[in-house]
Structures are given as C-alpha cells and as structure tokens.
Structure 1
Amino acid sequence: MSLSPRFIALLLASLIAGLTMVFLAFVPGTTGSMLFVVGVSSFLLSFFLVLYTIDILVYREITKLYEAIRKLKVRDFSISRKSILKTGNPFKKLNDEIFVYVARKQKEIDELKKMEQFRREFLADVSHELKTPIFAAQGFIHTLIDGAVDDEYVRDKFLAKAARSLDGLDALVQDLVALSQLETGELRMHFDRVDIRHITDEIFEQLESVAQARKTTFRLKTPLTGPVWVRADKQRITQVMTNLIQNAVKYGNDGGKVVVTLEDEGKKHLLVTVKDDGPGIPPEHLSRIFERFYRVEKSRSKEQGGTGLGLAIVKHILNAHKSKITVLSRLDKGTEFRFKLDKE
C-alpha cells in the first residue's frame, strides 16, 4: 500500500486527537463539549502541521532529489522512462534509483579499471615485442659500421640477420594495424561465395615445407563431396585457416598430424575444426589464448616465431563473420579449434 502524505497526516492527527481526548477525559470537570472542541482542534492542527511537514519539507525535497537522479540516469544510460519505477512513495523510488545507479556506476568503474590494466599490459607487451627485432637489427648494423663490412662473409651474414629482424618487425606492425582496424571496424569484410575446401587444400600446399620439417602430416576430413561453399571474406577466412593450421604444426609434436574437418552443422551452418595431436594447452591458459601477445610458453613461442597476435586477429575476423571460435584441449591429447560459417 502506498503511504501518501495525506494518509500519514490523517493517521497521525487521529492518533494525537484520540490520545488528547483520552487524557482530558480523566481530568475532573471536563465536559463532553470540551472534549469535542479539543479533539476537533487537535485533529485539525495536527493534520495540517504533519501534512505540511511531510509534504513540503520531506516529500517534495525527496521528489526533487529523485527527479535529479532520474534525469542523470536517463542521460548516462539511455534508459527508457517506462523502465523507471512508478510509485507514490518517493523514499522507495529514491532508494531504488540510488541502488541501481550506484550498482551501474560501480560496474563502470570496474570496467575502467580492467581497461586501464589491459592498457598497461598492452603497452608493456608492445614495447617488449618491438624492442627485440629493433635491438637485433641495430646490433648487426652497428657491427658492420664498426668495420665488419669489409669481411664479405660476415657482411652478408649480418645483413641477412638484420633483414630477418626487420621483416619480423614489419610483420608485427602489420598485425597491429590489422588488429586495430578490426577492432575499430575500419577493416570491412567483403563477403562472397567461397570454397573452403579449396582454401584448405591451398594452405596445405603452402605449408608443406614447414610440415615436412617437423614430419607432420595434413588431412582434410569431410563427408561432403565437391566444393564446400560458405559465405565469407576470402582473404580474411584464408588468414584464419592459415593461422590455425600453422599453429597446429608449430606447437604440435614432431611426427604428428593436423586434421581439418568440414561438416554440416544444421541446414544453415558449416562447422570447421582444426585439430592437432600435440601436447595440449593447460586449462589455466585456455581463457586467455585469444588475448594480444599472450603466450602459453613464452620461451618456446619465441623460438617458434610469430607476433603473438595471430589468435587475437582470428577472433576478431570471425566476430566480423558473426561467428565465435572455441577451443578444446587436453594435456598430451591435443588441441581443437572450432568455428561455424554460413553455408552458401
């Protein structure tokens, strides 16, 4: 029940008038007329005094405060007026609005703290990743300047190493630019009819030398015959498949195998799976492998090469395809990446 100012004033005035009449009834010589006059007078006086106190001094000020919070809430969060609580009790409205507002502000503060922590980690990672190839190339070039350029063998060897370091730096910068464009939406997807089977076969051919170096075998597994058509950006989905297959070779076991599976997932989607039989990823790392520069084994990842941005780019490309990538992994059993694409 809503306690309006008038109802509260009426209740309190009746109580005060009743108590006054009861006390006067015990006073000797008090007549019924006197009790009536005193009761009516105390009721009217108490009613208007309580009403003025509650309505003017409390309710109206609380209502003004509630309206100010409501306007701020609507401006900050674009909440429709229909969602705002409708009640006649401003204390309840104020309490509800303050609770909701504070809770959302606290959530906003927590998100800002996470973003600040992410920014610090990102700057530290970028600085570290840029420093390594720059210092390496700088060392080779300064060695040549200091006189090693006169030795033809040393000159060619150091120039080749400096070139590899700069190539790695260029790849890192290109990945950073691509990731930034994907996150801001500047990099547009050009969707077309794409044969994912043909793309997979081409990637197997491109990575054949890398696979042979580790004695890794490729296998395409699908119950579908002929071309497997999906709707995707050909360049970007090729980038996704290349990254996943290349990682499966890099981080799998020597003499292992990489299996790509293409199978129907209902009438509208195709399920793509890239699986290796490598050492697997520890459970504590699974939730973070799609973060920028995150490496499960930093020393081993450095030896294998790469910018540390591949899976982050894969995630954003698939998000642009309205798809989500998932990972399943068991230690010493292998790792499996899955995502869906729209069939064409």
Structure 2
Amino acid sequence: MQLNFKKSYKFAFKSASYITLFFLGVFVLYHFFIAPLQLVFVFGFAFCLFLFSFLLIQYRVETFIYKRVKKIYDDVSLLENTSFRNQPITTDMATLTKEVQKFARDKKLEIETLKIREEYRREFLGNVSHELKTPLFTVQGYLLTLLDGAMDDKSIRKKYLQRAEKGVERLIYIVKDLDMITKLETGDIHLDLSRFNIVEVIQNVFDLLEMKAAKKNITLTFDTKYAKPIWTLGDREKIQQVVTNLVVNSIKYGKEGGTTEVGIEDLIDNKIIVRITDNGEGIEKQHISRLFERFYRVDKSGARSEGGSGLGLAIVKHIIEGHNEKIYIESQFGVGSEFSFTMEKAK
C-alpha cells in the first residue's frame, strides 16, 4: 500500500525545534559562564542537531502511527468495504478521521436500508400468504363439502362448484399480477410503443367497467366531450391496464350514486396529463405515501371484501415509470381523490 504522510511534519518540526533550543541554551550558558565557543560551531551544531532530530522524529512518528493506522485499515477491510479498503493508507489523523466517519455513516445507512428491506420482505410475504390463503381456503371448503356428500344434490353441487371456480379465478388473478409486477420491478418486460388515441382507450375501459360501476350506481364519464382524437405515444395495452386499474380503484372506494370523471389536459408542448377524479371516501394523509406499495390497503378488511389482488396501484406506478412518465395523487378524506399521470404526445 502507498504511504501518504502529511501533517506529521508539523509535529516533528516542533519537537526538533524544542530539542535544538534546549541544546542551544546549554551551549549559550557554557559560552558565557565556562568557556567561550565559536558561534559558527554553535549554530552549525544546532542546525545539524535540528536536522537529525527532525528526520529521526518524523521517521519514528511515521512508523509508530503507520503500524496502528494500518491495523485500522486491516480491521475495516474485514467488513468488505472495497471503497475504503482500496484507498492508500494515510497517517494524517484529520483525513483518517473523516474517512472512518464516512465509512461509519455509509455502514449505518447500509444497515438501515437492510432493515427496511427485511421489514418490507416480511410484510410482503405475510401479505402474499394472506391474499392466497383466503381463496385457497374458500375453494377447499366448497370441495370438501361436496366430497362429504353435498355432491349428490345437483343444485348445491352446481352452486358450490361455481363458487369454487370464483376462488380459482381470484387465485389466477393474483398470480398473474404477481408475475407482472415481478417482471416490471426487474425490468424484464417489453413495452410495445405505438401511436394511439387515449380517448378511445378510456372509452374502452368505461365500456368494460360499465356493469361493475352500475352495481354501485356510479357514473363513468369524461369531464367534457372530446370530439377529436388525442394521440399519444406508449404501450396501448399497458396504458389501458393503467386506466382500468385506476377506474376500478375509484369504483371500489367510490360512494353509492357517485361519479368517476376522466379529463385530459395539455401539460407542456409534448406532454398531456390524464386525470381520474372521483367523489368517493377519499384517503387520509398518512396513507397517501404508501398507496403504491404492493398489497398496501387503506381499509384492510373492507378492501379485501371487494376482491382484487392488492397489486393494482403498484402495477400502475411501475408501468407509468416504465414509460419515463410521472403519476400523482391528490386526495381529501371524505371528499374524494384524483389520480393523474403524464403521457407523451404523438404527432
């Protein structure tokens, strides 16, 4: 390792000066009180003494500090921090202190990050277990009931098989969403970019969800009539999924007889923003920052009764970010919510 000695010279200089002054004082006393000495000899000896003392003290200090500092570097190297380990050894205490403090801060940040990830992993596994357990137990319950004798009754058999099928459909839905979000998070998903009419995509979503909204008497509507197409650039299928997930979310948490309104506005020269607004129950502030986490639910019991995988908003966030766009949320509890995302215009 390369040596990098800096500020120990100051220590050596002062120490050599003290030694030289001491012996110079002795010679002066000897000159005046015992026997006169030639001044050239005195100052020549003082200079040689100073130089010898300086070099000796500097060497000894460097050796003394280097041995101990090297042990610090060796101990730190055991922690496999390559950025610290590969640096040249310095015996400059100020520099060393800064390096060790930076190393300690980096390690503290790394440990805190690992703790957050561990907590996130534990919560994720618990959520996956819960989400899969509910439909699994539902299917198992109906099948066991049929095997215990209910199969002989045709009406019960059909009803229970239909309910078991719904449980299987929800399992498939959850697994598909898990597969998609895994691909999105690892970047292992292809975006098929094309020019498409965003108004048409939103209308398709309205048509698909019309019956779902009708069950709660919720009106799906545009904020105004869009007579002309609005052309955007993106993956049509995935953007349709984004709109679908956001509209489904607004229906799920919307109030009876409410509305879900979609508006499209020019943002800047080459961008538009799509706003999906509802007058539902709204979201409390403490939940907003976590809405896009996997399986995070504001109302844990109520949301599960509505079904879904708990991954809808997480998928939305990853798809939008995959397009290098932004998604925003504004909500007032008891008043309603607005989700919005940007898209690039197409000529």
Fold conserved between structures, TM > 0.5: yes
1:55 matched to 2:62? The reply is: yes
Cα distance in structure 1, aligned partners of 2:311 and 2:319: 12
Partner of 1:194: 196
SS of 2:58 mapped into structure 1: helix
1:97 equivalent among 88, 96, 99: 99
Cα distance per residue 1:304-327 (max 9 Å; x no partner): 111111001111111101112111
Change (3 A) 1:341 1:146: same
Native 8 Å contact 2:247 2:276 kept in 1: yes
Cα distance in structure 1, aligned partners of 2:35 and 2:170: 105
SS of 1:288 mapped into structure 2: coil
Q: Normalising by the residue count of structure 2, what TM-score does the alignment of the two structures yield?
A: 0.87
Change (3 A) 1:277 1:47: same
Cα distance per residue 1:266-323 (max 9 Å; x no partner): 1011101101001100111111111111111112102211111100111111110111
SS of 1:315 mapped into structure 2: helix
1:250 equivalent among 249, 252, 259: 252
Partner of 1:21: 24
Native 8 Å contact 1:270 1:342 kept in 2: yes
Q: Normalising by the residue count of structure 1, what TM-score does the alignment of the two structures yield?
A: 0.88
Q: Partner letter of residue 205 of structure 1?
A: D
Give the superposition deviation at 1:93: 2.8
Native 8 Å contact 2:7 2:92 kept in 1: no
Q: Partner letter of residue 22 of structure 1?
A: G
Native 8 Å contact 1:223 1:263 kept in 2: no
Cα distance in structure 2, aligned partners of 1:16 and 1:188: 76
Native 8 Å contact 1:69 1:97 kept in 2: no
For structure 2, the residue ranges without an aligned partner over 5 or more in a row are none
For structure 1, the residue ranges without an aligned partner over 5 or more in a row are none
1:274 equivalent among 261, 273, 276: 276
Q: Partner letter of residue 9 of structure 1?
A: A
Give the superposition deviation at 1:5: 4.6
Give the length in aligned residue pairs: 336
Name the Cα RMSD after superposition: 2.9
Identical residues among aligned pairs (%): 37
Give the superposition deviation at 1:104: 1.5
Q: Partner letter of residue 258 of structure 1?
A: T
Q: Partner letter of residue 18 of structure 1?
A: L
Partner of 2:111: 109
Partner of 1:228: 230
Cα distance in structure 2, aligned partners of 1:207 and 1:215: 12
Native 8 Å contact 2:246 2:276 kept in 1: yes
Q: Partner letter of residue 124 of structure 1?
A: G
1:214 equivalent among 206, 213, 216: 216
Q: Partner letter of residue 181 of structure 1?
A: K
Native 8 Å contact 2:278 2:338 kept in 1: yes
Cα distance in structure 2, aligned partners of 1:106 and 1:51: 36
Cα distance per residue 1:211-243 (max 9 Å; x no partner): 222111122125864111111101110000001
